[in-house]
Structure 1
Amino acid sequence: MKLKNSILGDKVYQKLIQKIFLQCLMIVLVAIVLVIIIRSAGRGYIGNKITEVICAITGADWERASDLYFGYIRSQIDTVMMITCIIFFIILFRFSLSWFTKYFDEIVSGVDQLVREDKNRIIMSPELNFMESKLNQVKEELAKRAEAKEEAEKRKNDLVVYLAHDIKTPLTSVIGYLSLMDEIMDMPIAQKAKYVHITLEKAYRLEKLINEFFEITRYNLESIPLNKERIDLYYMFVQIADEAYPALVASNKKVKIHASENLTIFADSEKLARVFNNILKNAISYSPPNSIIDVYGEIQESNAIIRFENPGVIPKEKIGVIFEKFYRLDYARSSATGGAGLGLAIAKDIIKLHGGSIEAICEEGKIIFKITLPNIKDFFTNS
């Protein structure tokens, strides 16, 4: 794997490495050529000048200075030439650093474009194609995330507006019926009972809408820590079915559990119950009357597989987006199915936090939510 990455890295940086190599090679060749030119053009003249310097420093005559020149300098001409070549190389390399720094300038400029959220495509030298490609990928990904965030925020704002509008309706009814009962003290018992029943229904609706407000806020603000423990999955299925009993009775629906009574798993019971409740609510809302909702649970190899199945259809183009925040299958809000569109998004986040996966499948007239969770052994290993 490391060898493969190394090969890929060499291919990615090939143009840049080749350019730097050629520049360094050119600097060395130029330094050597300069030294050769200086040595050839200055033969004799340079020797005479060095001899004059020796005369001035030592006070020796010309002949003595020439002996010193030939004995200590001329005889070491190869070493002198090498040192001179190195000096030229260092000088030339210093000036050539501007060639290299332009690459850093381009990278900094590209990063600045990301920070400024400049919509123009980042363009760099051919040698930096790999960096240009990466930065443009990041740019596109950031743009997609910003767009998704903006869309989610818009959906959220729309839902808040819808909720605020919807709250006024049951609240007005509650106030109206209570006012009538307060004003008409001798109202017939049957009529008063009818008004109390209607008022209670509207109050429940009002409570549901207020809970949706809390759900929206809580989803954005709370971090979700896990408190994992061994839980009885079969008992949890029974419990959520019991909690949903009023909604099931109201639409003549039933829940059938297909799982061993000894089925257990290591997870956060509170968070997992929230997942199952959200999926069951979804099944109740979007399945036809008099239908049966089947809940399956089993252990397959190292995973626990859980399925919720109910009659119904989800359009293919919507299967991939039903787990998005604030997404609802029916955008028209109604008393029966109006929700914040957070239930499945929360369910997905909790399952991912457990190291599992959740998917929606629509086949043969059934909507299936399949949850895969790591078994106990994996949870102990990763915890």
Structure 2
Amino acid sequence: MRRISVKLLFAVIISFLATNLIFILISRLVLSRYIQEEKMNVSAYNLLAFGLISMAVVVFIFVFLVLIRSHIRYLKEISEQVQKISNGDLGATIHVRGKDELAELSQNINKMSAQLRTKFNREREIEQAKNELISSVSHDLRTPLTSIVGYLDLIKKRANLDDETLDSYLYIVDSKANYLTDLIEELFDYTKLTSPDLQLQRNEVDMKRLLQQVIGEYEPILKREGIDVQTSFASESVVLIDVEKMVRVFQNLLENAKKYSEKPSVLEVNQEIDEDSLIISFRNSINISEKLEVEKLFDRFYRGDESRTDANGSGLGLAIAKQIILLHQGDIRAELQRNKLTFFIKLPLTQESLENHK
């Protein structure tokens, strides 16, 4: 890298040499003539010397400015772009020229501008997501709250209510209240998962054993719903995960299968190794809705229809599952073939596990 100080020193030397050369030439031409003619007195000589020195200074400044004019223009360009950035034109860039400190300064300003634009866009996306979340939550809270208030008002008035009707109203109020509790808890969990300050408590875990444990706990519940579970697991596969959060993913997918599977039906859970990744799949038969959009299954509050009733859950379960998988540098997606809905989870294997499978 050519340092700008070297360039400036070079410009000073060139200016000095050019000034000396011009000064010597003019001095010889002027002074030699006056000396030969012996017509110059001391005052005239001093005046002439002052004029020559002044001319030398002017020549030095002129030559120096000519040599550094490109740097001056570059500094002006940098200043203009910085002013644009300060006025809100985030992402404005400076054309990098050369390999000196000014070029390095330009690169740093460009990097800063890009980072500011990225940060600003990220904050705008967060603000938009927050507004959408507030809007969705308001809608989801308002519906059951309105129902609770209505039934409580009827109970409070006790107008022509027999015991059976009263019990029915109390059951509805209780179920709506439980739904609100679950919604608030899931919303709180989702908010924590999207926080940039979240730290995962990772440990090396054999995924086969973890899946067997979670499915074993859920299998009686699924069987009561008419859903049999079939599993196929690869040999020992070690992954680095936050166990508590990964269990939450599997529970959400199993709960999703319990709610939306055809009854009776079979839930297939498979685990296999694909190169450097572990692939886990959950496949079940579902009652297909014409309004089901697979690509939106992981969106917050998406339920496959526009009714948004509490019977379909909070609509946050799959969004939470996706966020957890992304935090583990993995991927989760869904595929629908006829009436078979499959969720695929992809997680990176540990180096030890990869070596064991070579």
Q: Which runs of 5+ in 1 are unaligned?
A: 1-9, 11-16, 51-55, 57-83
- How far has the Cα of 1:350 moved from its partner? 2.0
Counterpart among 226, 244, 248 of residue 200 in structure 2: 226
> Per-residue displacement from partner, 1:218-274 (whole Å, max 9, x unpaired)?
432465433334545445445544665697468644443322696664432211011
Contact 2:214 2:250 in 1 (8 A): yes
Q: Give, as a single letter, the amino acid of the residue that structure 2 aligns with 1:270.
A: E
Q: Which moved more, 1:38-47 or 1:103-112?
A: 38-47
Q: Give distance in 2, aligned partners of 1:86 and 1:318.
A: 76
Q: Which moved more, 1:238-247 or 1:122-131?
A: 122-131
- Note the 1:70-109 alignment, pairs <5 A: 97-109=71-83
Match of 1:163 in 2: 140
Q: Give distance in 1, aligned partners of 2:33 and 2:70.
A: 34
1:337 aligns with 2:312: yes
Aligned residue pairs total 322
Q: Which moved more, 1:354-363 or 1:143-152?
A: 143-152
Q: Give distance in 1, aligned partners of 2:235 and 2:71.
A: 74
1:309 aligns with 2:269: no
- How far has the Cα of 1:152 moved from its partner? 1.6
Q: Give distance in 2, aligned partners of 1:295 and 1:181.
A: 51
SS in structure 2 at match of 1:226: coil
TM-score (norm 2): 0.64
Q: What RMSD, in angstroms, separates the aligned Cα atoms of the two structures?
A: 5.3
Q: Give distance in 2, aligned partners of 1:345 and 1:24.
A: 62
Q: Give distance in 2, aligned partners of 1:316 and 1:335.
A: 18
Q: Give, as a single letter, the amino acid of the residue that structure 2 aligns with 1:212.
A: L
Counterpart among 131, 144, 153 of residue 154 in structure 1: 131
Q: Give distance in 2, aligned partners of 1:242 and 1:198.
A: 36
Match of 2:241 in 1: 267
Q: Give distance in 2, aligned partners of 1:347 and 1:271.
A: 9
Q: Give distance in 1, aligned partners of 2:83 and 2:353.
A: 45
- How far has the Cα of 1:157 moved from its partner? 1.4
> Per-residue displacement from partner, 1:329-353 (whole Å, max 9, x unpaired)?
43431132142x4333322232233
Contact 1:32 1:85 in 2 (8 A): no
SS in structure 1 at match of 2:175: helix
TM-score (norm 1): 0.61
SS in structure 2 at match of 1:155: helix
1:348 aligns with 2:306: no
Counterpart among 204, 210, 214 of residue 185 in structure 2: 214
SS in structure 2 at match of 1:333: coil
Contact 2:291 2:305 in 1 (8 A): no
Contact 1:173 1:202 in 2 (8 A): no
Q: Give, as a single letter, the amino acid of the residue that structure 2 aligns with 1:165.
A: R
Q: Give distance in 2, aligned partners of 1:131 and 1:97.
A: 17
1:229 and 1:30, CA in 2 relative to 1: closer, same or farther beyond 3 A?
Answer: closer
Q: Give distance in 2, aligned partners of 1:46 and 1:359.
A: 92
| Aligned-pair identity (%) | 24
Q: Which runs of 5+ in 2 are unaligned?
A: 36-41, 43-57, 98-102
- How far has the Cα of 1:105 moved from its partner? 0.8
